[in-house]
Copies of this chain bind each other. A is one copy, B any other.
Amino acid sequence: MKPKITLKQIAKDLGLSVSTVSKALSDSHEIGDVTKNRVQEYAKLQNYKPNTMAKNLKNQRTNTIGVIIPNILNPFFAKVFSGIEKAANAKGYNVITYISNESHNKEKQAMDLLSNGTVDGFILSVAEETQAKNVSSHFKETLREGLPIVMFDRIMEDVNCDKVIVDDFESSVEAVNHLIKLGCKKIALLSCIDNLSVGKHRALGYERALQDNKMEINKRYIIKTDSQTDFDARLEKLISAKEIDGILAVDEHASTMAMKIAIQKGIQIPKELCVIGFADGVWSRRLTPSLSTISQHGPEIGEEAAKLLIEKLESKSETPTFKTTVVKTELRQRDSTRRV
C-alpha cells in the first residue's frame, strides 16, 4: 500500500508552498504558466486525488444526498432510485442509501445518522409505519436544521418541502373509464395498501369514476385492507362468485393474485374479466396473459426529485419556496384488457 499523496507532499517534492500547489491545481490565474504545468503534470503522474473529507470539511458541504427508500425490492422504488442515482451522479453528487423497511425507527435513525454533515439533503418516500402513525416530527426537525428534503410518492401533507408525486386519483379515474369503455359493468377495486396515502387516493379515484359514469358503487366489489392474508381470502370468494367482469388492482400483490386465482378458476382473461393494475418493472409483460398497467414513470420521478433537491442546494435563497411536481402516469394496454 503506497502512502497517500497529498498537497503537502507535492509541495515538498516540488519545493513549493501548499497554497501554490492548491491554486495551480485549481487553475488559478494567480499562478504562472510554468509552475502551473509543472504542478499539474506532477500531480497527474502521482495520481493525486484531493481528499474528499478535507474538502467537505472546508466547504461545509458534502455533495452527497441521503436517500431513504421503504423497500428496494419493490420495482417502483428500484426504478425511482435508479433515476435519483443517475441524475445525482450527472451533477456530481454521491448517494448514500438507507432502506427503511417500512419501519419508522429505521427512517428516523437514518435521518439522525446522516444529518450531521454527512449529507446535504434528503430524498425519501415515507415509511408505511410513519404514515400509519402519522408522525412527521423527524422531518420537521431535519428541515429546521437547514437540510432540505424532497419527498416522493408517499408524502406527508403537513411537511413543508418539495414533493414529487404521481396523480394517483386521476390515474384510477382513467383506468376505470377505460374498463367501462371496454364494456365492463361490474368493476372491482382491489387494494392491500389501504394504509398508504397512495392507496387511499387510488381508491377514491375508482369511486369517482363510477359516479361520473352513473354507475353504482357496490361494496361487495371492493376489497380494501392492509393485510395480504385477509386480502387473499376475500379475493378468492369475490372471484369465485364470478360476478365481476373488471378489476382495478392498486398494488402488485392485488393484481397478480387476482390473475392467478382467475386463471385457476378457469375464468378467461380478458374475455370474461379485464384486469388493470398499478405496476412497474418488467414482470407485468412476462405474465400470461400480460397485464395491462398504470405505469408510474419511476425513473422520471427520481430524476425530478434529484433535480429539485439540487436546485435547492445550489440556490442560496434564504426564503425558499416549495414545489410539488406531478408526474403523469401512463396506461399501458396489454393482453389483460385486450378484448377480441
A binding-site residues for B, Cβ under 8 Å:
1-2, 4, 49-54, 56-57, 62, 64, 72-73, 75, 78-79, 81-82, 85-86, 89, 94-99, 112-118, 144-146, 256-257, 259-260, 263-264, 281-283, 286-288
Cβ contacts under 8 Å, A281 to chain B: 73
Cβ contacts under 8 Å, A118 to chain B: 52-53, 94
Given A56-B53, A73-B78, A281-B73, answer yes or no on A95-B94 (Cβ-Cβ < 8 Å): no
> What's the nearest-Cβ distance from chain B to residue A11, in Å?
18
Given A1-B146, A52-B117, A286-B260, answer yes or no on A79-B73 (Cβ-Cβ < 8 Å): yes
B78:A72 contact, CB within 8 angstroms: yes
B57:A54 contact, CB within 8 angstroms: yes
Cβ contacts under 8 Å, A96 to chain B: 64, 94-97
> What's the nearest-Cβ distance from chain B to residue A264, in Å?
7
Measured CA separation A113–B146 after assembly (Å) = 27
Cβ contacts under 8 Å, A53 to chain B: 53, 56-57, 62, 117-118
Cβ contacts under 8 Å, A4 to chain B: 117, 145
Cβ contacts under 8 Å, A51 to chain B: 57, 116-117
The contact of A1 among B95, B97, B115, B145, by CB within 8 Å, is B145
B52:A146 contact, CB within 8 angstroms: no
> What's the nearest-Cβ distance from chain B to residue A322, in Å?
15
Measured CA separation A81–B113 after assembly (Å) = 20
Measured CA separation A98–B89 after assembly (Å) = 9
In this complex, what residue of B is CB-closest to A73?
B78
5 extra interface residue pairs, beta carbon distance < 8 Å, beyond A78-B78, A86-B99: A53-B56, A54-B57, A72-B72, A73-B281, A85-B99
A146:B82 contact, CB within 8 angstroms: no
In this complex, what residue of B is CB-closest to A61?
B53
> What's the nearest-Cβ distance from chain B to residue A7, in Å?
12
A50:B286 contact, CB within 8 angstroms: no
Can you offer 27 A-B residue contacts whose CB atoms are under 8 A?
A1-B144, A1-B145, A49-B115, A50-B116, A51-B117, A52-B116, A53-B56, A53-B57, A53-B118, A54-B57, A54-B117, A57-B57, A64-B96, A72-B78, A72-B82, A73-B75, A73-B82, A78-B78, A85-B97, A85-B99, A94-B114, A95-B96, A95-B97, A96-B97, A97-B97, A257-B286, A259-B288
Measured CA separation A246–B286 after assembly (Å) = 20
Measured CA separation A257–B285 after assembly (Å) = 10
B94:A113 contact, CB within 8 angstroms: yes
Cβ contacts under 8 Å, A50 to chain B: 116
Measured CA separation A4–B114 after assembly (Å) = 14
> What's the nearest-Cβ distance from chain B to residue A62, in Å?
7
Measured CA separation A14–B54 after assembly (Å) = 28
> What's the nearest-Cβ distance from chain B to residue A302, in Å?
11
Measured CA separation A238–B321 after assembly (Å) = 60
Measured CA separation A205–B81 after assembly (Å) = 35
Cβ contacts under 8 Å, A146 to chain B: 1-2
In this complex, what residue of B is CB-closest to A1?
B146
